[in-house]
Amino acid sequence: MTLSAIRLLAPQQSAQSVEFFCQERSDLLTPFSPAALEFVETLSRQLLRDPAFKAHPEMIALGYWLRKANISRLAEQAAVPTAVTNHAVRLPRGLVFHVAPSNVDTIFIYSLVISLLMGNKNLVRLSSKSSAQQMLILQVLNQVLTELPDNPVSHSLMVVTYPHDDTISRQLSSWCDARMLWGGDNTVSHFSSLPVRPTAVDIKFANKYSLALLSVQAVLAADDAGFARLVRAFVSDTYLFGQQACSSPRAVCWLGDTHMVSQASTKFWSAVDAAVNQYPHGLMAADFMQKLVFVAEHAIDYQSVLSPVSSDMTLTVLNTELAGLIETRHHCGRGTFLQTAVSQLTDLNAVLHRGVQTLTYFGISAGELQTWLQAGVPGLDRLVPVGQGLDFDYIWDGVDLFASLSRFVTIR
């Protein structure tokens, strides 16, 4: 197959060929250029204005994240200390080739935006399987491109799709200066096997597993309003993408007095049970069937036992030993939680590994968590309060995206 099999999705028409686009470097911008800021602001406005996105909370969240105030805050956080800027200049890497996850999620837009803020040119490959969300994203991107015909960013972005084809992927990979791989382990490994030029970098985001850590005492002591907030926040972290986002907690670990765990757990899950039955989770018979199979698989592998806390299959809680808490092979999401308890944070070290990404926490002080991390933990990329599990951060899976998508030129 040749490059002619590539279909351009955004912009809808371009005077540049893909080949020319990928090889030309004279049109790179500089980090946080006014043109890029205008582009991002316009994108944010479109997302928040269009009523079509009201039904997609993840799109609204994206719209808010892209707002001017948040981008300025990010720019401050990512700012290079004066000690460095005295003898170094930050520049874009060049062409960034983004391989978006096949089941379109908004997540690749976040890394795309960081990339264009750094002044890179961007080529995005979307899955050839079209989805409603994909159409919406393309629609809004094309609106922005039409609205800003003279903005240089509009000419340094191409969104394409093509059938699974190594010849094309190999060619595009050979042209880029950075390759951003989103997807399952297989997709990421497969693309990794296609070479990039020796000066280029690969940034990989493969499968990850996340969990929640709740303080037994804090849950029991929470006032009504605080407890209700916790439950709402937990439900939205876990049920928004059917618990299938990498950052959606799939397990709940209780921390504290082991004699009080069952009381705290009963209080928590009965409230979650009531909340999920009000939540537009979209789970159907086939989802419940998947869960039934997982319940059996986990019982076989870890002798876990269903907890009777839930009124139906919308919520499934399995009591397990610590060893069964992180189950990355079969876990089906869809409102399924592996539950266990530990009496101290360091007990978790035994099961954490590099495949564990987010820990959402409640009732545990930042200081306590810092002390734990500083002594060294074998996994985890981010710890955030319950409710912020699905928020995007410019440091993702341990990678500072601003740093990875730019380069320093030193001058002494």
Partner 1 sequence: MNNLDFFYQQPSPYSLGAAEKQQVLHSHLAALDAHHQQHCELYRRIASSQTAAGWFDQQVFLPVRLFKEYELKSVAQQDVFKVLTSSGTTSQQVSRIALDRETAAHQSKVLVKIMQHYLGVQRLPMLIIDHPSVVKDRLSFSARGAGILGLSTFGRDHTYALDDDMQINLERVQAFIAKHQGKPVFIFGFTFMVWQYFFQVLQQSGQQLDLAGSVLVHSGGWKKLIDIAVDNSVFKQVAFATCGIQRVHNFYGMVEQVGSIFVECSHGYLHAPDYADIDIVDARTMQKLPDGQQGLIAVSSVLPSSYPGHRLLTEDLGTVFGEDNCPCGLNGKYFHVHGRLPKAEVRGCSDTHAAEVKP
Residues that bind partner 1 (CB under 8 A): 101-103, 105, 107, 127, 129, 164-166, 182-187, 190, 205, 207-208, 241-246, 248, 282, 284-290, 292-293, 295-300, 303-308, 312-314, 318, 333-334
Residue 74 CB, shortest distance to partner 1, in Å, is 22
Report the residue number, 61 or 148, with the smaller CB distance to partner 1.
61
Structure tokens that stand for 32 in this block: 């946080």
Q: What backbone torsions phi and psi does residue 185 show, to the nearest 5 degrees?
A: -55, -40
Residue 375 CB, shortest distance to partner 1, in Å, is 30
Structure tokens that stand for 243 in this block: 């618990």
Report the 10 Å Cβ neighbour count for 285.
Answer: 8
Report the residue number, 177 or 287, with the smaller CB distance to partner 1.
287
Q: Answer yes or no: are the C-beta atoms of 167 and 144 closer than 8 Å.
A: no
Report the residue number, 245 or 253, with the smaller CB distance to partner 1.
245
Report the residue number, 321 or 368, with the smaller CB distance to partner 1.
321
Report the residue number, 335 or 363, with the smaller CB distance to partner 1.
335
3 state DSSP class of 250: strand
Residue 102 CB, shortest distance to partner 1, in Å, is 4
H helices of 240-344, where?
261-276, 285-302
CA angle 99, 102, 108 (to 5 degrees): 50
**Dist. CA 172–CA 371, nearest whole Å:** 45
Q: Which one-letter amino acid corresponds to residue 221?
A: A
Residue 9 CB, shortest distance to partner 1, in Å, is 17
Residue 183 CB, shortest distance to partner 1, in Å, is 7
Distance of CA 168 to the CA centre of its chain: 26
Q: Answer yes or no: are the C-beta atoms of 201 and 179 closer than 8 Å.
A: yes
Phi-psi domain of 94 (left: phi exceeds 0; alpha: psi -120 through 50; beta: other): left
CA angle 151, 115, 392 (to 5 degrees): 120
Structure tokens that stand for 270 in this block: 């009965």
Report the residue number, 242 or 379, with the smaller CB distance to partner 1.
242
Q: Answer yes or no: are the C-beta atoms of 228 and 325 closer than 8 Å.
A: no
**Dist. CA 251–CA 345, nearest whole Å:** 15
Report the residue number, 151 or 236, with the smaller CB distance to partner 1.
236
Residue 285 CB, shortest distance to partner 1, in Å, is 4
Residue owning tokens 């955030």: 384
Residue 345 CB, shortest distance to partner 1, in Å, is 27
Report the residue number, 70 or 186, with the smaller CB distance to partner 1.
186
Residue 374 CB, shortest distance to partner 1, in Å, is 29
